[in-house]
Structure 1
Amino acid sequence: MAILFAVVARSSTILAKHAWCGGNFLEVTEQILAKIPSENNKLTYSHGSYLFHYICHDRIIYLCITDDDFERSRAFSFLGEVKKRFQTTYGSRAQTALPYAMNSEFSSTLMAQMKHHSSPPSDRLTETQMQVDDLKGIMVRNIDLVAQRGEKLELLIDKTENLVGSSVSF
């Protein structure tokens, strides 16, 4: 259950892409891009054991290929995040860009988002819980150290007061 391939394109002109694994994803994607209408919409195609999800907005197509058991909501969440980041980064430049013009910069964003959205929510929750537990442990140790320092300071203050009292009586 993963996002295997992602692409951002203007019509059939690919602007950025990233593949999680090997395969003929690019060739299949080029065929699908040619068939996607230019009006704003989102849709999922099924072919064999793969699902092809896309969002088309302002003639820019955000497409991903997933296993057939991947949840549509997660795929469209991924595409929505990619769309937001792409529009924020490139804006109207995407309307006139050359093929693969954004690939060197944006493929790393695609990769990071693919990784994030491919991992099941329970794994992310478990990982976050482990991080919280680690932080709790660190905080408890720090609080113990502060308490120990406070005790040492109190002892030092008591000894100082005893010395002051002894020096006065001497």
Structure 2
Amino acid sequence: MIIYTVICRVRDVAVLVEVSSPDLSGNAPQVTTKLLTHLRDHPELLVEGEYKTFVQRNQQEEDFLSNFVESCASVLNEEPWDDDYYFHLLTKDGVFYCCIGDDPDIRDQKVNFAFLEQIATEFVKRHRKGRIQTANAYALDKDFSPTVRSCMHHHNINHKSIAQEERVINLMAKVDNMKHVMGTNIHLMLERSDALEELVDKSETLEEDAAVFRRKSTVVRRRHQRKFWFKRMVLAALFLIGFSMFLYVTTVAFCGARLQYCTRKHSNEENYENYNEEEQAQDGDGQ
């Protein structure tokens, strides 16, 4: 799931657009700014056009600070910060595109890169290069953040289907550890309310229900089509039987059950014609 997205200019790490998931709080902006500043100062760590993931492991080492934080969390009956977070980055034309996700599955991480690719394409379509390089911090946020938010929502609730697309399957990304890159372990502290988790769960449930409804609708439609076809065949058969019965009854009414009347009439007509021919022949001989 994508929980935070930021678009920054590389040369001064100025935030141009920033979007976070609803009901999310924590130090994601501060940690992301530190990471992007470090990448600006060390450009060899992120090549232009390259997909790269930096993993933030909040309990990577058993150092004094980690133990102290975990102990305090236990005393306060709170969960320690033990989740792993993934900073997915793409840089194009002097712009950092970064999103934070909590998906350990590499297939879901590829979906997050597809999200970055899409917003990068949309961003350069909407804004000229000169405008991007001279805009003040957050100057483009009002205009472009709705697009980012909508795209985040789409990729979050459709990540299963998007992960099956060929363009996503073929994405390749490098993975580095945050501590190794930064030289220090920075704790990313995020708090998400139950409402956000429930919203995502409900969205996925609705998506599954919709798929089930489509399958059931297809079955019902095919069943209805079969019933309709069978009904038409029955009606056609009944029509043929009725028409045959009508012909039979009409024929019996005029010719009898064994067609004797029609046969006798036909025989009489033939005899009459033969008789006329014989008389004409006799008259001819007499003359």
TM-score by length of 1: 0.70
Contact 1:46 1:68 survives alignment (8 Å): no
Give the secondary structure class of the aligned counterpart of 1:62. Answer: strand
Q: Which of 110, 127, 131 is residue 73 of structure 1 equivalent to?
A: 110
Change (3 A) 1:52 1:131: same
Q: CA deviation at 1:53?
A: 0.5
Aligned runs of 1:45-124 on 2, under 5 Å?
45-48=54-57, 49-69=84-104, 71-92=108-129, 93-119=131-157, 120-121=159-160, 123=204
> Which structure shows the bigger proportion of residues in strand conformation?
1
- Unaligned runs of 5+ residues in structure 1 are 141-170
Matched residues in 1 for 2:128 and 2:216: separation? 40
Partner amino acid, structure 2, of 1:16: V
Deviations 1:114-157 (A, max 9, x none): 111112325486466468579989xx9xxxxxxxxxxxxxxxxx
Deviations 1:3-57 (A, max 9, x none): 0100111021110010112111110111011022275132110012100001000
Contact 2:103 2:109 survives alignment (8 Å): no
- Look up the match of 1:151: none
1:17 aligns with 2:18: yes
- Look up the match of 1:3: 2
Aligned runs of 1:124-135 on 2, under 5 Å?
126=208, 129=211
Larger-gyration structure (1/2) = 2
1:27 aligns with 2:30: yes
Give the secondary structure class of the aligned counterpart of 1:100. Answer: coil
Aligned residues: 139
Aligned runs of 1:28-43 on 2, under 5 Å?
28-36=31-39, 37=43, 39-40=47-48, 41-43=50-52
Give the secondary structure class of the aligned counterpart of 1:51. Answer: strand
TM-score by length of 2: 0.43
Contact 2:85 2:101 survives alignment (8 Å): yes
Matched residues in 2 for 1:95 and 1:39: separation? 19
Q: CA deviation at 1:69?
A: 1.7
Contact 1:46 1:52 survives alignment (8 Å): yes
